[in-house]
Chain A
Amino acid sequence: GQQLNQSPQSMFIQEGEDVSMNCTSSSIFNTWLWYKQDPGEGPVLLIALYKAGELTSNGRLTAQFGITRKDSFLNISASIPSDVGIYFCAGQLTDSWGKLQFGAGTQVVVTP
């Protein structure tokens, strides 16, 4: 079954605010990935993390691979209307090459 706990489930924020979401697991992952899905589209990769403790930025997005290898977070700074969508974390267990597991997603709604 699903081993990733992603929170929050949804967020309603005002334009310009910062957004933070995270994923946790009881298992150790060797890869954490963050995807965004727009309505009617497939998910698109935002940030990939491959080392414990790694902190990576992509524009207004910042993600970190937790030191324990059991969690990861994604921050979006100064949100804009096009940040609307569903954000997914995904991870690969150390002994499960090729099998990415996805969190349930965080629905982000940005209001003007």
Chain B
Amino acid sequence: NAGVTQTPKFQVLKTGQSMTLQCAQDMNHEYMSWYRQDPGMGLRLIHYSVGAGITDQGEVPNGYNVSRSTTEDFPLRLLSAAPSQTSVYFCASSYPLGGLNTGELFFGEGSRLTVL
């Protein structure tokens, strides 16, 4: 199993450009999510999905779109990149334990995005 695979690993954009960060998992996990990591701020949840066709907003969703057409894939779209979106982005997946609990998160290696 490859686990959680993110592409690209590095990307430089100009302000206003659009792009999609790809995320794929081969563990048949229902739950997938996107986080951004900024110095001194830990990881902040952007969007998450509890299954195909279902997405919801996290703590910092503005400027990002997601969709979940399959269990395996959860792309993150930046429609018009801004310098404030310079960050390291992590995709994570999990098989929920059920009930109120969130199970272990498996993270990808991250995508480092710079917006000039």
A residues neighboring B (CB under 8 Å): 1-2, 4, 6, 9, 30-31, 33, 35, 40-45, 48, 50, 88, 90, 92, 94, 97-105
List, in ascending order, chain B residues with CB within 8 A of A2's CB.
Answer: 41-42, 44
Task: Contact check, B101 vs A50: say whether CB atoms are below 8 A apart.
Answer: yes
With a cutoff of 8 Å between Cβ atoms, the chain B residues found around residue A1 in the complex are: 59
CA distance A42 to B9 in the complex (A): 12
- B102 adjacent to chain A (CB < 8 Å): yes
Task: Say if the beta carbon of B48 comes within 8 Å of chain A.
Answer: yes
CA distance A37 to B40 in the complex (A): 14
A9 to B39, CA, bound (A): 12
Chain A residues lying within 8 Å of B41, measured Cβ to Cβ, are 2, 104
7 additional A-B residue pairs with CB within 8 Å, beyond A4-B42, A97-B102, A98-B48: A33-B104, A42-B90, A42-B107, A88-B42, A100-B102, A102-B35, A102-B44
Q: How far is the CB of A37 from chain B (nearest CB, A)?
A: 9
The minimal Cβ–Cβ distance linking A79 to chain B, given in whole angstroms, is 22
Is B58 an interface residue, CB under 8 A from the partner? yes
A103 to chain B, nearest CB (A): 5
- CB contact under 8 A between A42 and B102, given known A99-B48, A104-B40: no
Q: Per-position contact with A for B101-112: 1 when CB-CB < 8 Å, else 0?
A: 111111111100
Q: B110–A41 contact, CB under 8 A?
A: yes
Q: How far is the CB of B58 from chain A (nearest CB, A)?
A: 6
Known: A2-B44, A42-B90, A101-B45. A92 touches B102 (CB 8 A): yes
Q: Which 10 A-B pairs have the closest CB atoms?
A: A42-B107, A102-B42, A102-B43, A104-B42, A45-B104, A92-B102, A43-B107, A42-B90, A98-B48, A30-B100
